[in-house]
Structure 1
Amino acid sequence: MRAAGNYRPTFSLSSYLVVLLVIPLLVLLLLLTFLIQPLSSRSSSSSSSETWAVGNSSSTSRNFSYSRALSAAPAEAPLTSFLYGSPSPAPAPAPAPQISTGAIQVGGIRRVKSWRSMKLDKLEESLSKARSSIREAAATSLALKNKINSTSKSVQLVHDQDPDYVPHGRIYRNAQAFHRSYLLMEKLFKIYVYEEGEVPLFHAGPCKSIYSSEGRFIHEMEKGKLYRTKDPDEADVYFIPVSVTNLVEYLYVHGTPDRDPIKRAFIDYIKVIADRHPFWNRSLGADHFMLSCHDWGPVTSSSVPDFFHNSIRVLCNANTSEGFNPSKDASFPEINLLTGEISSLGGPPPSTRTVLAFFAGRLHGHIRYLLLNEWKGKDEDVQVYEVLPKKVSYENKLKSSKFCLCPSGYEVASPRVVEAIYAECVPVLISDAYVPPFSDVLNWRSFSVQIPVQNISDIKNILMGISHRQYLRMQRNVKQVQRHFVVNGPPKRYDVFHMIVHSIWLRRLNIRVHDF
Structure 2
Amino acid sequence: MAWRIYAADLICILAIQLLTQAFGITNDTTISQAVVPDFSVQGKIYSEKLNPTRSDLLDVDAVTNSLYLSPLTFRSNYDEMLEKFKIYIYPRKQQDFGSPEWCGDQRFRDLDKHGASFYENLISSDFVTDDPEKAHLFFLPFSLDASGTKSTASVSRFLRRYIDDLKSQYPFWSRTLGADHFYFSCEGILTDSSRSVVELKKNAIQISCYPLALSVEGAKARFFPHKDISMPPVESVTDVHQTPKLQQSDGESRTIFAYHVGAPAGLDSVLQLWKNDPDFVLDPLLPEPNLYFQRLSSSRFCLIFFGDGGNSSILVDAVKFGCIPVIIAQGPLFDVPFQDILNWQEFVIILNMRQVSNLKQTLQNIPESQLQKMKTLAIQASEHLRWHSTPQPYDAFYSLMYQLWLRRHTIRYARRHISS
* TM-score, normalised via structure 2 length: 0.75
Q: Distance in 2 between matches of 1:470 and 1:284?
A: 46
Q: Does 1:386 align with 2:284?
A: yes
Aligned 8 A contact 1:289 1:312 in 2 = yes
Aligned 8 A contact 2:182 2:205 in 1 = yes
State the 1:242 CA deviation: 2.6
Q: Higher relative contact order by CA 8 Å / sep ≥ 6: 1 or 2?
A: 2
Secondary structure in 2 matching 1:493: coil
> Which residue of 382, 387, 394 corresponds with 1:482?
382
State the 1:441 CA deviation: 1.7
Q: Does 1:291 align with 2:184?
A: yes
| Structure 1 residues 173 and 328, CA gap change in structure 2 (3 angstroms) | same
State the 1:266 CA deviation: 2.9
Count of aligned pairs between the two proteins: 363
Larger radius of gyration: 1
Q: Does 1:272 align with 2:165?
A: yes
Q: Corresponding residue for 1:72? A: 21
Q: Corresponding residue for 1:221? A: 122
Q: Does 1:515 align with 2:414?
A: yes
Secondary structure in 2 matching 1:299: coil
Q: Distance in 2 between matches of 1:448 and 1:267?
A: 40
Aligned 8 A contact 1:486 1:496 in 2 = yes
Aligned 8 A contact 1:79 1:440 in 2 = no
| Structure 1 residues 393 and 340, CA gap change in structure 2 (3 angstroms) | closer
Q: Corresponding residue for 2:326? A: 428
State the 1:259 CA deviation: 2.7
Q: Corresponding residue for 1:252? A: 149
Q: Distance in 2 between matches of 1:74 and 1:179?
A: 12
Tell me, which stretches of 5 or more residues in structure 2 are unaligned? 1-15, 38-50, 60-64, 95-99, 416-420
Aligned 8 A contact 1:72 1:85 in 2 = no
Q: Distance in 1 between matches of 2:346 and 2:317?
A: 18
Q: Corresponding residue for 1:114? A: none
> 1:352 is matched by which residue type in structure 2?
S
| Structure 1 residues 343 and 174, CA gap change in structure 2 (3 angstroms) | same
Q: Corresponding residue for 1:456? A: 356
Secondary structure in 2 matching 1:402: strand
Q: Does 1:469 align with 2:369?
A: yes
Q: Distance in 2 between matches of 1:339 and 1:354?
A: 21
Q: Deviations over 1:8-38 (max 9, x none)?
A: xxxxxxxxxxxxxxxxxxxxxxxxxxxxxxx
Q: Distance in 1 between matches of 2:110 and 2:317?
A: 15
Q: Does 1:242 align with 2:142?
A: yes
State the 1:217 CA deviation: 0.7
Q: Corresponding residue for 1:194? A: 90
Q: Distance in 2 between matches of 1:441 and 1:177?
A: 10
Aligned 8 A contact 1:193 1:228 in 2 = yes
Aligned 8 A contact 1:282 1:514 in 2 = yes
Q: Distance in 2 between matches of 1:213 and 1:240?
A: 16
| Structure 1 residues 379 and 197, CA gap change in structure 2 (3 angstroms) | farther
Q: Deviations over 1:320-378 (max 9, x none)?
A: 63253322222222343479746426544234211011011133x44x44543433x22
Q: Deviations over 1:482-505 (max 9, x none)?
A: 211111121011110000011111
Alignment of 1:304-383 (within 5 A): 304-316=197-209, 317=211, 321-322=220-221, 324-337=223-236, 341=240, 343-344=242-243, 346-348=245-247, 349-350=249-250, 351-363=252-264, 365-366=265-266, 368-369=267-268, 371-375=270-274, 377-383=275-281
Q: Distance in 2 between matches of 1:476 and 1:339?
A: 18
Q: Distance in 1 between matches of 2:169 and 2:244?
A: 46
State the 1:408 CA deviation: 2.5
Q: Corresponding residue for 1:163? A: 53
Q: Distance in 2 between matches of 1:208 and 1:488?
A: 19
| Structure 1 residues 396 and 74, CA gap change in structure 2 (3 angstroms) | closer
> Which residue of 230, 243, 262 corresponds with 2:155?
262
Aligned 8 A contact 1:197 1:269 in 2 = no
Aligned 8 A contact 1:240 1:290 in 2 = yes
User: Share of identical aligned residues, percent?
Assistant: 27
Tell me, which stretches of 5 or more residues in structure 1 are unaligned? 1-66, 87-141, 146-160
State the 1:82 CA deviation: 12
Q: Distance in 2 between matches of 1:74 and 1:417?
A: 24
Secondary structure in 2 matching 1:71: helix
Aligned 8 A contact 1:171 1:481 in 2 = yes
Secondary structure in 2 matching 1:78: coil
> 1:332 is matched by which residue type in structure 2?
M
Aligned 8 A contact 2:259 2:282 in 1 = yes
Alignment of 1:2-151 (within 5 A): 70-72=19-21, 77-78=26-27
Aligned 8 A contact 1:360 1:385 in 2 = yes
Q: Deviations over 1:108-167 (max 9, x none)?
A: xxxxxxxxxxxxxxxxxxxxxxxxxxxxxxxxxx9xx9xxxxxxxxxxxxxxx9514633
Q: Deviations over 1:21-79 (max 9, x none)?
A: xxxxxxxxxxxxxxxxxxxxxxxxxxxxxxxxxxxxxxxxxxxxxx8873239999427
Q: Does 1:407 align with 2:407?
A: no
* TM-score, normalised via structure 1 length: 0.62
> 1:421 is matched by which residue type in structure 2?
V
Q: Corresponding residue for 2:11? A: none
Q: Corresponding residue for 2:315? A: 417
Aligned 8 A contact 1:208 1:339 in 2 = no
| Structure 1 residues 212 and 442, CA gap change in structure 2 (3 angstroms) | same
Q: Deviations over 1:274-327 (max 9, x none)?
A: 22111112211000011233x3x2337997111111111122356663253322
Q: Distance in 1 between matches of 2:109 and 2:244?
A: 19
